């Protein structure tokens, strides 16, 4: 009797896990596409999932990920911000100019962040008080 109860509970848990996985896939349909794409590319390109390549992709896509996370909050509150690309580009240009002129990375990074914060503050002020 106890074994039957254990089997039923295990079956119920399996069913619940499967149902939750189905809900997740319906709410995020691009996840299976991403997984299948990664598997296909890794089968076709040797070393695609190597540590060096994953580290390189993280390094290259890091700024884009940070920008995407920032814009996510804007979308969550029902807004839209088309200036993120321009702000990112302006910050990058400021960073490059300061690095070229000083030859040091740290002042360039600080300049880029300050330009991004300044443009963000101007955008925020404009939206909050002048809309």
Query: Which pLDDT score is estimated for 53?
Result: 92
Cα–Cα distances in angstroms (integers) from residue 125 to residues 1, 7, 9, 79, in the given order: 68, 61, 56, 15
Both structure tokens of 52:
């060096």
pLDDT at 116: 93
Model-level pTM? 0.58
Q: Rounded CA gap, 73 and 88, in Å?
A: 17
The pLDDT of residue 121 is 93
Residue 3 is predicted with a pLDDT of 54
Domain boundaries, the chain: 1-49, 81-131
Look at residue 18 in the predicted model and tell me its pLDDT: 76
Given a cut of 50, the residues of the chain with pLDDT beneath it are 1
The H or E element that residue 7 is part of is helix 2-27
């Amino acid at each position: 009797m106890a074994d039957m109860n254990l089997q039923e509970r295990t079956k119920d848990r399996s069913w619940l896990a499967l149902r939750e996985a189905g809900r997740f896939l319906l709410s995020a349909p691009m996840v299976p596409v991403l997984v299948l794409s990664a598997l296909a590319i890794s089968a076709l390109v040797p070393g695609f999932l190597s540590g060096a390549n994953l580290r390189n992709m993280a390094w290259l896509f890091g700024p884009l990920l940070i920008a995407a996370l920032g814009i996510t909050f804007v979308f969550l509150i029902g807004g839209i911000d088309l200036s993120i690309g321009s702000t990112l580009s302006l910050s990058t240009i400021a960073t490059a100019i300061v690095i070229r002129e000083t030859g040091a990375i740290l002042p360039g990074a600080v300049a880029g962040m300050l330009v991004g914060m300044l443009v963000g503050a101007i955008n925020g002020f404009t939206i909050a008080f002048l809309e």
